[in-house]
Amino acid sequence: MIKQIRDLLGDKFGEESIIRLDEQALQPTLVVNADYIEQIGFFLRDTEGCYFDFLSNISAVDYFPDNRFDVVYHLASIPYQTQVTLKIELENNRDVNELPEVDSVSAVWRTADWHEREAFDLMGIFFRNHPDLRRILLPDDWVGYPLRKDYEDAESYHGITIK
């Protein structure tokens, strides 16, 4: 199934939309060009034979000490009872004032709203065109992104010692 999806996407968006097919992973993964993620999402959701109508999860991966992050999208087609995993790779200098950025897919799947907010809050991935990108688990004034591997725990928060 994943090879057919790769071929469909290559035909529709051109070979530059596909980085590679990773069949060595526990779950075969299609690595796609980040510039195409929203278009690919609409295509996979709306195309007969695909109909990936359910975004079950978005996760972010930190490859510290490399300046690389991945965003992984787990999609399911309920009518066809199939699944596909998409991944995008982002380069970033790890400066908390210049977050890695990718387009939001919340216009494609409404569940992305919360998944993207979580990836933003905990990993510092910025989702362009998100309707309400703000912290979801931590206070608005929290400094840093605690699931990054280079994150240093705060010693205090508003005068309260954190141990």
pLDDT at 85: 97
Write down all domains in the chain, each with its CATH number in brackets. Answer: 2-161 (3.30.460.80)
Report how far residue 47's alpha carbon sits from residue 156's, in angstroms, rounded to the nearest whole number.
Answer: 51
Share above pLDDT 90 across residues of the chain, in percent, rounded to a whole number? 81
Q: Is the pLDDT of residue 160 over 80?
A: yes
Give me the pLDDT at residue 155, please.
80
Q: Global pTM?
A: 0.92
C-alpha triplet 36, 22, 64: angle, nearest 5°: 80
Instruction: Give the per-residue pLDDT at 156.
Output: 77
Residues 66-93: tens digit of each pLDDT: 999 999 999 999 999 999 999 999 999 8
**SS3 of residue 33 by DSSP:** coil
> d(Cα 135, Cα 41) in Å, to the nearest integer?
24
